[in-house]
Amino acid sequence: MHANGQARRAGNTFSGGPVPALLPHTRRTFATAVRSGGPGQVRRARAGPWIFGGRRAPLTATVARMADESFTHPRLAALYDPLQADRGDLDAYLDLAGRLGARTVLDIGCGTGVFALLLAARGAEVVGVDPARACLDVARAKPGAEHVCWIHGDAVALPPPQVDLVAMTANTAQEITGPRAWHTTLARAFEALRPGGHLVFETRDPARRAWEGWNRDATRTVTDLPGAGAVETWADLVAVDGALVTFRWTYVFATDGQVLTSTSTLRFRERAEVEADLAAHGFALHDVRGAPDRPGRELVFIATRPPRPSPDARPAAGTARPQGT
């Protein structure tokens, strides 16, 4: 989540840090247009096979159709990266991946590929999956994109690659609003992890009621972007329905006066709910931390797929072996 067109700043661990304004930028369901994408570069990732976990796959693939085709709006697809130029919020994720020794990573909701490309630049093998084709078009056009496997779709349709780390950065977890889609995503994330692998994602603490600050007065900003001119943006709260919060972003282009809007919904899950969901899908909760840029406002969940018991492991004292073993 980024404030007034600026990315959240973070330290190199999930703790402490300054607290900027909280804004509901997202990349999922948009009514009129989509706030997603990045610079309209023309270089494409080269074609050819990509090897992951010993299997060959195309550099780009489609596993599911995105729900909202308005995600492909070209003008807004060129704004995401320029408006979110500072991605310090990813530093803690990069640090965690390094400390976990993650060499293979699945980036669910990879968007314009910033996190995936940072990981790839550090030598990791990365699969980036996103239902927004416009975002992936931007990602594929970036330097180093040929080192990432980009998949148009979602985790529901993704074949399990057996990775060290599954990540859902920024709003990805909250953008999965339907209970069925959420539980399926957790199930597929579990399947995608090797035994002992980790899942990490963040979600806002609903007790802080961040949506109360989502209005024009608090969020309006004008940004002068190279090639696009001045772009005025602001957010308005549309509705709060239990755990679902709907909001609308408006974009006004000074060059020709065009106005585009995008409407999105986030689900605010309680900590206990998330912990129960993780346990229900077989995860062992490793830690729950604060986000570095918004301490006390955001929860970062780190869970593990338990390692398989060693075949040579002896049963605990007083535990009988099953017959026939």
As beta bridge partners, residue 152 has: 62, 130
Closest CA to 121 of 150, 139, 141, 143: 143
Task: Give pLDDT, residue 79.
Answer: 83
Residues 159-187: tens digit of each pLDDT: 667 899 999 998 899 999 999 999 999 99
Q: Which residue has the higher pLDDT, 61 or 271?
A: 271
Torsion of CA 89, 213, 287, 188, to 10 degrees: -80
CATH number of the domain that 136 lies in?
Answer: 3.40.50.150
Give the tokens for residue 77.
């697809």
Note the pLDDT of residue 177: 94
pLDDT value for 40: 23
Asked, for residue 67, whether it belongs to a domain, the answer is yes
Q: Give the C-alpha separation, 228 to 170, whole Å.
A: 25
Domain count, the chain: 1
| pLDDT computed for residue 213 by the predictor | 96
Q: Is 246 left (phi over 0), alpha (psi -120 to 50) or beta?
A: beta
Give the mean model confidence (pLDDT) for residues 64-87: 63
Rounded to the nearest integer, the mean pLDDT of the chain is 77
pTM of the model: 0.77
> Would the pLDDT of 315 be above 70?
no
What confidence score (pLDDT) does residue 303 get?
Answer: 98
Whether residue 22 lies inside any domain: the answer is no
Return the half-sphere exposure (C-beta side, CA atoms, 13 A cut-off) of residue 234. 14
Tell me what pLDDT residue 293 has. 74
Task: Name the more confident of 132 and 284.
Answer: 284
Q: Judge whether 178 lies within some domain.
A: yes
Which of 75-79, 277-281, 297-301, 321-325 is predicted least confidently? 321-325
User: Residue 185 belongs to what domain range?
Assistant: 58-304
Q: What is the DSSP string of 188-257?
A: HHHHHEEEEEEEEEEEE-GGG-GGGG-SHHHH-EEEEETTTEEEEEEEEEEEEETTEEEEEEEEEETTT-
Looking at the predicted structure, is the pLDDT value of residue 13 above 70? no
Q: What is the pLDDT of residue 157?
A: 61
> With 80 as the cut, is the pLDDT of residue 50 above it?
no
13 close to 92: Cβ distance less than 8 angstroms: yes
- What does the pLDDT average to over 242-252? 94
- Would residue 108 count as lying in a domain? yes
Residue 314 lies in a domain: no
User: In the chain, which ranges are continuous DSSP H helix?
Assistant: 74-77, 80-83, 91-100, 114-121, 133-140, 172-175, 179-192, 216-219, 271-280
Task: Give pLDDT tens digits for 61-75.
Answer: 433 333 333 345 778
Q: Is residue 147, in this structure, part of any structural domain at all?
A: yes
Task: Say which residue, 261 or 165, is predicted with more confidence.
Answer: 165
Model confidence pLDDT, tens digit, residues 186-242: 999 999 999 999 999 999 999 999 999 999 999 999 999 888 899 999 999 999 999
Tell me if 69 is assigned to some domain: yes
Query: Quick one: pLDDT band at residue 26, thresholds 50, 70, 90?
Result: very low
- Is residue 23 in some structural domain? no
Q: How many angstroms separate the CA atoms of 301 and 305, rounded?
A: 13
